[in-house]
Structure 1
Amino acid sequence: MIDFVGKRKVFILLSLLLILSSLIFVFTKGFNLGVDFAGGTEFVISSNKEVSINEIRSILTSIKSEYATAKIAKLKNLNVEDSELFQYSVVLKESLSGSTALKEELIKTMKQKFAEKDITIDFLEFNDVSGYAAEEIKSYAWYAVIISLILLLAYITLRFKFSFGVGAILALAHDIIITMGFYSLFGIEINVAAVAAFLTLAGYSLNDTIVVYDKIRENMKKLRGKKNIEEIVNTSINEVIVRSLNTSITTFLVILPILIWGGKAIAPFAFGLAVGVVVGTYSSLYIASPIVIGWIKRSRVY
């Protein structure tokens, strides 16, 4: 039998270091906010010939000097009717949603500039978000996360005890903060898809924690008076660890190909889930349960 509980102080210290590191990244490096949250214009172009990012930036700068700061990324190539098309994503800080003339001028000028180089381009997607709309989306995203946490705390408290609810929410906060740190560290875009990943992570992490808590509650009734709370929790974790690991590994193996080959649009969602599955499984075993032990021992309710 693995002694999970005996090493809980080591793992709690490790988690505190991870949380501290994540917060440092978040507050010093910040996030790579997508158009959804930062506002601006995002469009995808395809070309019949491969061009460099510097060429695209040079053409954008010749149209307007402010476009020199555009974020440009190469996407997966498209195969259409035995011919290969090269795709590029461009994000401008300026929103063109209020001016159809500016948008049409940008499209017309870019096509002309590329045509001079004997390159044909097409605009596949065009997404405009004003600063006001971005702030509104950001507010709704925060509301969604906060309301979800409140509902999860209420659910755990009703199903188990308040001590279990506190443990679950702290473990969930642990997962979200560390996952946010990874987003900041690797510069993964934070957009609506990333928020969806955080909410999915919350549900997944909670489900994993409930499996452990359910076994602890069952063993507390069965082993009361025979074992102390540390032994009961340790026994419970050992009884469910195989199931938890099998579920997590299976989920991770499904997410990994999506992260690698799914493309730019789904990457923020897949990245959040990939990190979240690992961190969520860890917290269910090493964070949520020790918190319950500490709470029960301090309240002397067992």
Structure 2
Amino acid sequence: MRLLKLVPDDTNIKFLKWRVPFFVVSLILIAASWALVLTKGINYGVDFAGGQEVRLTFEQREEAPIPALREMVTSLGYGTPVVQEIGAPNSVSIRVPLPESGESEPGAATEIGNQVIEMIEAEYPNVARDGNNTVSGKVAGEFRQDAVLALIAAMLAVAIYIWIRFEWQFGVGGLFALFHDVSLTLGMFSLFQMEFSLQIIAAILAIIGYSLNDTIVVYDRIRENLKKYRKMDLTDLLDLSVNETLARTVMTSLTLLVALLPLLLFGPESLFGLVAAITLGLFVGTYSSVYMAAPLLIWMGVNSSSFVPQESAADLQEKKARGQV
């Protein structure tokens, strides 16, 4: 029985033929994304904007009814809450966004927490109150700062790794591809004003990991072909390398897409932002490996001698002494 092949072995698509227009479009999209972030802003969730935190323990239950709690608290009209398990399976933390009056009046914030508790106690009588506290804007600001530092550290670590494994040009290309992917993800959240929470930071880190994986596969094949085809034009060599890794890229992307699409279309609302970010990252990560990371190698002067060990003056002198030069 013949195996199913989504990509033929003799694929010869001229990807790099359109590198300039695609690169220009990418730069425009990056600029537009940051323009949206700076002008329209990002819709921060409770993690980054502050809010009221209620902590409860369901003493007569082994597990807290998290989906039901999320639906109940959402019905109060204060926005989408963050409901998560803390410590034991029957203990939860419920964080609710505060209206503008709640930020300026501590008593109003506590009252919102009391409303949440009273609604839950009416449905689940045997609930122990563990806390009703306000998450200040200062703490939320620290969360935002730490999240930004985590993303920058991840991207720099990736660039350094690629630099050490290949050449500095590859590190620059990989870093620029990651910057492209993160920028477009932030632009999507700003454009549609989707809630930006700690879940989305996790999604962006996953995007960085996927994009890095795809870029390294392409770069590794480029390095092999640079050693193998010393006289081939670099544009043709890059096309060859991308085509040789195309089957692996398509299969990986489709496998992830099969898992993501049901969650995106039929999954719970609380996971929509996370899944939407990873789905977008799947496409932009694959795109950037081909049209961002690869063309930059041409413009930064990578050639067939990039991975050939350079002979020292002593080696040349020894060859002359042996009459090999």
Match of 1:62 in 2: none
Q: Distance in 2 between matches of 1:126 and 1:264?
A: 25
* CA shift in 2, pair 1:134/1:160, >3 Å: same
Q: What corresponds to 1:17 in structure 2?
A: 28
| Residue 121 to residue 219, structure 1, CA distance change in 2 (3 Å) | same
Is 2:256 the counterpart of 1:265?
Answer: no
Correspondence for 2:43: 32
What CA distance in whole angstroms lies between the structure 1 residues aligned with 2:279 and 2:133? 27
- Greater displacement, 122-131 / 240-249: 122-131
CA contact (8 A) 2:53 2:96 kept: yes
Q: How well do the aligned residues superpose, as a CA RMSD in angstroms?
A: 3.6
For 2:266 and 2:80, how far apart are their aligned partners in 1?
A: 19
Please tell me whether the aligned partners of residues 208 and 244 of structure 1 are also in contact (alpha carbons under 8 angstroms).
yes
Deviation at 1:256, TM superposition (A): 2.1
CA distance in 2, matches of 1:50, 1:189: 19
Matches of 2:18 and 2:51, distance apart in 1: 49
The CA deviation at 1:266 is 2.5
Matches within 5 A, 1:189-204: 189-204=195-210
Deviation string, structure 1 residues 98-145 (Cα, Å, up to 9, x no partner): 77x963x44655788x8xxxxx66699988522222122112111211
Q: In structure 2, what is the equivalent of residue 205 of structure 1? A: 211
The equivalent residue for 1:283 is 288
Within 1, Cα distance between the matches of 2:208 and 2:268? 24
Deviation at 1:269, TM superposition (A): 1.9
- Contact 1:111 1:121 survives alignment (8 Å): no
How many residue pairs get aligned? The number is 265
Within 2, Cα distance between the matches of 1:296 and 1:241? 24
Could you tell me which amino acid in structure 1 is paired with residue 293 of structure 2?
A: A
User: 2:297 is matched with which residue?
Assistant: 292
Select between 234-243 and 162-171 the one with higher mean Cα deviation: 234-243
Equivalences for residues 46-125 of structure 1 within 5 A: 56-57=76-77, 70-71=78-79, 91-93=97-99, 94=102, 103=110, 105-106=111-112
Give the distance between the partners of 2:132 and 2:271, measured in 1 at CA.
Answer: 17
Flag the 1:164–1:110 CA change in 2: closer, same or farther, 3 A.
closer
Amino acid paired to 1:27: L
Shift of 1:261: 3.2
User: Which digits, 9 at most, give the CA deviation of each residue in 1:22-53, with x for residues without a partner?
Assistant: 12221221111011111112679969x99996
Aligned to 2:13: 2
Contact 1:46 1:121 in 2 (8 A): no
Q: Does residue 256 of the first structure (1) align with residue 264 of the second (2)?
A: no
Relative to the length of structure 2, the TM-score reads 0.70
Q: Which residue of 2 aligns with 1:185?
A: 191
Distance 1:102 1:9 in 2: 54
- CA distance change for structure 1 residues 230 and 106 in 2, over 3 Å: closer, same or farther? closer
Shift of the 130–289 alpha-carbon distance from structure 1 to 2, 3 Å rule, reads same
Cross-structure match for 1:216: 222
Work out which of the two has the higher radius of gyration on C-alpha atoms and give 1 or 2.
2
Amino acid at match of 2:254: I
For residues 187 and 164 of structure 2, the distance between their equivalents in structure 1, rounded to whole angstroms, comes to 31
List runs of 5+ in structure 1 lacking aligned partners. 58-69, 76-88, 115-119
SS in 1 for 2:21: helix
* Contact 2:169/2:302 (<8 A) preserved: no
Residue 236, structure 1, aligned to residue 241, structure 2: yes
1:199-251 residue CA offsets vs partner (Å, 9 max, x unmatched)? 111111000000100110000000012x1111111111111112112211211
- Identity over aligned residues, as a percent? 37
The amino acid that maps onto 2:301 is I
Q: Is the 2:185–2:277 Cα contact (8 Å) retained in structure 1?
A: yes
Aligned residue type for 1:131: G
Shift of 1:301: 5.4
* SS of equivalent to 1:189: coil
Unpaired runs of at least 5, structure 2: 1-11, 55-65, 84-94, 308-325
Do 2:50 and 2:137's aligned partners in 1 also have CA atoms closer than 8 Å? yes
Provide the TM-score with structure 1 as the length reference: 0.75
